[in-house]
Structures are given as C-alpha cells and as structure tokens.
Structure 1
C-alpha cells in the first residue's frame, strides 16, 4: 500500500481542543498507512471581503498544503449546534477566489464534551463543503462522533473505548479506499473548475459578505 499524504484541519482555536487531540491520536495510530499533517485555523482573521480578493498568508499556506494532499480530515467541535466561527471563516478564506478543495476527498470527524459528538456541526460542515464555492468530495455516511471527549483519552492520548477505536479504524480504511476511487472520477473536473472560477469571480464572492 502506498502511504497517503493527508492534512488534518483542527477546526478549533482552543489550546486544549479535544479535536486536536483526536487528530494527534489518528496521526500516531495510522502512521504506517497515512502521513497526517495537522494544520491550525487558530490565528486566522475573521473573513472580510476585500476588493483585490487577497487572502491571509496563513490561508495561502493552508491551501498549498491541501492542494498537494491526497485527502483532508476536518475535525470540528460543536458550538450551539453549529461549527465554530473560526472554522467557518477559514473555509471562507479557502474558497475566496481559490479552490483547493475542488474534488478533494474529505473525511469529517468531530469531538464534543456532550453526548451528541458534534453530530449537528458535522451535518452543517458537510453542507458547507458540498457548496458551489467549495465542491469538496466528502466521504458519505462516514461521521465519526466522539462524545464526552474530555473523558475519551487516557494520559498517553489514546482512545480508551475499544468500540470507538474499531469504528475509527474502519472509517480510516474506507477513507483510504475512497481516495483511491476519487482519483478515477475526473470527467467533470475541468468543467467544475471553470464553473468555480466563474462563480468565485461574481456571485460567489458577493455571497461572502460576512461570516460570523
């Protein structure tokens, strides 16, 4: 098996984020099949539309990493049944005249302190990634919902629930297969790219007035 290069986006600006902890765990556990590099949305400014469509340097670095990656894992917490403003803003920067997510395989994960495991935030994130401005290729029926995340890891940073570990193993295996399959789905890529360029230059950019 050829090792895949994956980007893990930490969708939180919390210094003690359990979503970051989850991605770090995945980086260690799957190091023999996937090279996972973590990138942070923390530090990005809130999205504001500019006349020259210039994006922050941090977003530039992120989009270059995403472009070169075989796939992306996005880990989101859930705040008031939605994704954090900082993650929403990051995705706005990463689709403002640029298209690193176009047809890029994406897996969604989420950890939350409560019992729902970021389920509603993940549903919202799926809609955003599937939007005309982004057009990522999100793996279907694949949510990893880590509830009660403050108690989910031991002192060494490992998940303690064997059923959760088994489920995550299966999802990561499926994601690697999903990436392989996605490389064959290229017939509409050029048309999608053209449509995205037209959309971003006109209607798409106007739709990004404020994200909060």
Structure 2
C-alpha cells in the first residue's frame, strides 16, 4: 500500500483545508496510508548561520523522504499561499532535500467561489524552485469552493461531483507516483546539485 504525507498548509486551528485532508485520509483509507502533517508549530524561518534546522523540521523531512508522495492542501490569502506554508517549505529546503523528485498533489479549500486557484498556481512555482524540485502532478487542480458548506456534520463531502472528481484525481495521483518512481535517472545529479547550492557564493 502506498504511503502519503498530507500536509495541512495553514497554521489556523479551524481550517477547512485540514477538514479536506482528514476526509481524504478517511475516504481513501483502503487505497493508501495517509498521515496528516501539521505546520502550525514551526518557528519562523531565520536562515541560521550554523545551517541547523529544528528537530521538528528534521522529523518532517524524514517522513516526507520516506513517503511515496505528498498531498498539500492550501488556503488562499491575498491571491497567494499562506505565509505559514511558505515558512514550512523554506525550512524544508534549507540544506535538506526531502522534496527532490517527490510526487506532489496540490488541493485547496476556500470559503469563496475560486477555491484557491491562485494560491495553487503560486504553490506550484514554489515547489518547482531549485531548492525544492518537487515533481508536481500536472493538470490536477482540485478546488473546493464554498468550503464552509462543503461538509456534513461528520466531515464528509456532500456534493457528489466534488467526490467524483477527487476520486479520479486521487487515482491519477497513485498512477503518477508509480510513474515517477521510474523517472529516477537524474535523481542523483539533482540531489548533488541541490546539496551544493549556495546563493552566498
């Protein structure tokens, strides 16, 4: 069975993005082992001179590295991904390399009608940065709009069309992960290149 990390892309205590990932974890329990990963307790990234990352970041990086893929659910604040998520990715690309060639699926829940479309586009750019180099599943946008009304009292999605699309995208992601596992010819070179990056030189 495939193992995925589901990263809650917000430090908000009450988030429909966390609710969406919890639903994904439960809904696909027979297809994959999915572990929720919180970012709300991370310190503010400060580029430490000794290049040491906090223990909580190391633990997160190890879990991502061991996973077959990562699902990130992002809110949208001011047409962008939230600062807390960018902070987490800054830590997870600071002289550590868990995202290199790691398959990533992006989803998002929003109170409004656009369903995090701009935030997801921004997040794709970040994950494609030289320090991260994640392998992002193409043409896979899942926008959960009007998310306050999207779940019932048990945390289940209520709209059949939303469920059907999520089912299809998750099945595609599982295939994408298998295909990505075969695309490792440049992985060693990518790893060395990222490890040797030094913007101060």
Q: State the TM-score, normalized to the length of structure 1.
A: 0.93
TM superposition shift of 1:58: 1.4
Q: Deviations over 1:28-75 (max 9, x none)?
A: 110001110001010111111111111112111110100100000000
Q: CA deviation at 1:109?
A: 0.4
1:166: which partner in 2? 164
Q: How far did residue 118 of structure 1 move?
A: 0.4
Who is 1:197 aligned against?
A: 195
**Distance of 2:182 and 2:3 partners within structure 1:** 18
Q: How far apart, in 1, do the equivalents of 2:66 and 2:156 lie?
A: 29
Superposition pairs of residues 1-212 of structure 1, within 5 angstroms: 3-199=1-197, 202-203=198-199, 206=200
C-alpha root-mean-square deviation of aligned residues, in Å?
Answer: 1.0
Moved over 2 A (4+): none
Q: Distance in 2 between matches of 1:111 and 1:55?
A: 30
> What is the alpha-carbon distance in structure 1 between the residues aligned to residue 66 and residue 25 of structure 2?
18
- What is the distance in 1 between the residues matched to 2:85 and 2:57? 12
- 3-state DSSP of counterpart to 1:127: helix
Shift of 1:194: 1.0
Distance in 2 (CA, whole Å) between partners of 1:12 and 1:150 is: 16
Tell me how many residue pairs correspond in the alignment: 201
Displacement of 1:24 in angstroms is 0.3
* Structure 2: gaps (5+ residues): none
- Which consecutive residues of structure 1, in runs of 5 or more, have no partner in the other structure? 207-212
Q: Tell me the TM-score normalized by structure 2.
A: 0.98
What CA distance in whole angstroms lies between the structure 1 residues aligned with 2:60 and 2:72?
A: 13
